[in-house]
Chains A and B, each alone.
Chain A
């Protein structure tokens, strides 16, 4: 049974993603760490699907669709902010107004 180790690995990947989000200042790298967290959760779903039926795999599809939508919109926002501020460093992006 590899369920326990798989849950452990996905927890570890999730924690690495959280650490990346908190540790970095580059908006694009933070975004990639969010994708890493989504992937870690997908591993949890897939490993539990082996015990509980294929529904878990269906959920992974929805997660992937949401991740694709989120990546497209988020990167567009980063592009717009970069045009405005000439930077993707979160320290330079501290105003809600232009």
Chain B
């Protein structure tokens, strides 16, 4: 059952990502990207990250994509004009570079699987199967993430708040009509 769901979400995510990249209209691209993000939220559920799945839908599919749609409609780019895909040379370069990165990533994935790195019981440090789900049972979906976030990662957490403040100020200043 878990595998079926995994491959279903993966298929939806990859197909809608491809559609997002190839659609001419920016609004269509944004809506396909929302579908990709919802599919990824489903994948997060399968990997015992319930809280992150909810946050993914709220923040990514909700807030960030609404911001994108808002800007697209503000700039009146909804109609797909002439195609904005690059010419044949640009396409060849794009396919070549993306393919190169793909081959490298694929080799990495193969290496991890081949060595039994994280997948097998032979490695010393992986958690036993189902350990994360047990942690979630005892500490709760939020507690499991909040505990390391507010102890081990407290300083990065505080720096994030400064980053968000800087982003707010920057966005307001940039979007003002007259600087």
Q: A residues touching B (Cβ–Cβ < 8 Å)?
A: 1-9, 11-20, 22-26, 28-29, 31-33, 35-36, 39, 42-43, 46-55, 57-58, 60-62, 64-73, 75-80, 82-83, 88-89
Indicate if the CB atoms of A9 and B10 lie closer than 8 Å. yes
A-B pairs, 8 with minimum CB distance: A22-B94, A69-B167, A11-B105, A76-B174, A20-B21, A19-B98, A15-B102, A25-B84
Q: With A3-B118, A11-B105, A71-B64 given, is the CB distance from A47 to B47 under 8 Å?
A: yes
Interface 0/1 of B39-77, CB less than 8 Å to A: 010011011110110011001100110011001101101
Indicate if the CB atoms of B156 and A62 lie closer than 8 Å. yes
Indicate if the CB atoms of A8 and B68 lie closer than 8 Å. no
Indicate if the CB atoms of B55 and A64 lie closer than 8 Å. yes
With both beta carbons as reference points, the residue of chain B lying nearest to A71 in the complex is identified as B64
Point out which of A55, A57, A62, A70 has the most chain B C-beta atoms below 10 A from its C-beta: A57
Indicate if the CB atoms of B52 and A7 lie closer than 8 Å. no
Indicate if the CB atoms of B175 and A4 lie closer than 8 Å. no
Known: A46-B47, A76-B171. 9 other contacts (CB 8 A): A2-B47, A8-B106, A9-B13, A15-B102, A18-B98, A47-B43, A50-B47, A58-B153, A88-B75
Within 8 A of A (CB), among B25-39: 26, 29-30, 33, 36-37
Indicate if the CB atoms of A35 and B167 lie closer than 8 Å. no
Complexed CA–CA distance, A68 and B168 (Å): 10
With both beta carbons as reference points, the residue of chain B lying nearest to A31 in the complex is identified as B68
B113 interfacial by beta-carbon distance below 8 Å: yes
Indicate if the CB atoms of A4 and B112 lie closer than 8 Å. yes
Closest CB of chain A to B11's CB: distance in Å?
9
With both beta carbons as reference points, the residue of chain B lying nearest to A13 in the complex is identified as B17
Complexed CA–CA distance, A80 and B173 (Å): 10
Indicate if the CB atoms of A23 and B119 lie closer than 8 Å. no
Complexed CA–CA distance, A33 and B3 (Å): 27
Complexed CA–CA distance, A2 and B177 (Å): 50
With both beta carbons as reference points, the residue of chain A lying nearest to B170 in the complex is identified as A73
Complexed CA–CA distance, A8 and B86 (Å): 27
Interface 0/1 of B1-34, CB less than 8 Å to A: 0110011001001100110110000100110010
